A and B are shown apart, each in its own frame.
Chain A
Amino acid sequence: MSATLAFDLLLIVALVWSAARALTVADLFRGVVLLIVFGLLMALAWARLGAPDIALAEAAIGAGLTGALLLDAVGHLRAKREPGA
């Protein structure tokens, strides 16, 4: 098995694992962090597919801006549930 194939398989396992964990992990905050990890792994996958344009956009938008929006929503939800916290 060549090194690149091993890397591809490892990356795909990491992608599927982080996606599944993001949806099943008990703590919602962890779920969002896992989705950010998933976005960064996606950027790597795009680089492997010879798509540096999408890799750039995915790292900035998929991981960065989506993460900021979702984290803010989680913070908002927590502040609502635990007033004063």
Chain B
Amino acid sequence: MKRALPVVIVALAALLGAALAAAMLDLPPHAVRLPGAVAANLAASGVAHPITAVLLNFRGYDTLLEIAVLLLALFGVLALVKPHAAGAAHPAHPLLQTLARLLAPLMVLVAGYLLWIGASAPGGAFQAGAVLAAAGVLLRLAGLLPTWAAPNLLLRVGLALGLLVFVAVAAAVLGHATLLTYPPALAGGLILVIEASLTLSIGLILAALYLASTEVRP
């Protein structure tokens, strides 16, 4: 009985996959034309890149909740890891250290570029934040960043900044219209402010998810 269970699970999953595929092939054409709606309103969104417009303007609450979820996940990880002694950045191979020292500033530069270009071309807060986090992970692997037992005040502000700025902007435009409907004249500037703080927070949170859960090794 116990032996047979995985076989049954695999068979049922395969059946589900086949049913999904059959349903997809059977779908009627689109009833709603979303790309057209996005293109028609792009001029009023404050940015020229459709995906950034969707993320920060048309469906801004998705991104608002997303940064909240990220922060919540970090709280979960921080609550779970054993408080261990901070510091103890063990030095790695000198070559790796030098490489990390050279690469980290370049990665920060790339993150800044991705953030800026996001208004008009592929890029934006998520990718920029990911590159920042990768720089943090690289520095940690090279032994140049210490692990930390508990984030200090400055770090806490950085972790929460994205959510705080986003909520503040959302509250500020509430008087103008509905939630996260920016005045078209200010939209571009507001989106840049939100994205800059989001980049910093996403980068710090993603790096922290790695730094907090990796322990000090002898």
Q: Which B76-102 residues have C-beta < 8 A from chain A?
A: none
Q: Mark A54-73, 1 if CB is under 8 A from B, else 0.
A: 00110011001100110010
Given that A53-B122, A56-B123, A65-B206 are known contacts, is A72 also in contact with B130, CB under 8 Å in the complex?
Answer: no
Interface presence of B214 (CB below 8 A): yes
Q: For chain A, residues 28 to 42, give those with C-beta under 8 angstroms from any C-beta of chain B.
A: none
Nearest chain-B residue to A52 (Cβ)? B122
Contact of A68 among B122, B131, B210, B217 (CB under 8 A): B210
Categorize the interface residue count of chain B.
20 to 34
**B49 — nearest CB in chain A belongs to which residue?**
A53
Q: Is B126 an interface residue, CB under 8 A from the partner? A: yes
Q: In the docked arrangement, what's the CA distance between A56 and B97, Å?
A: 26
The residues of B that contact A79 with a CB separation of less than 8 Å are: 217
Chain B residues, Cβ within 8 Å of A56: 114, 122-123, 127, 130
> A76 near B: Cβ within 8 Å?
yes
For the complex, what is the distance from the CA of A72 to the CA of B141, rounded to whole Å?
A: 10
Tell me, in angstroms, the Cα distance from A25 to B127 when the chains sit together. 31
Contacting A72 at CB < 8 Å: which of B123, B127, B133, B210? B210
Which residues of B approach A to under 8 Å, CB–CB? 51, 114, 122-124, 126-127, 130-131, 133-134, 137, 141, 206, 209-210, 213-215, 217
Residues of chain A whose beta carbon lies under 8 Å from any beta carbon of chain B: 52-53, 56-57, 60-61, 64-65, 68-69, 72, 76, 79
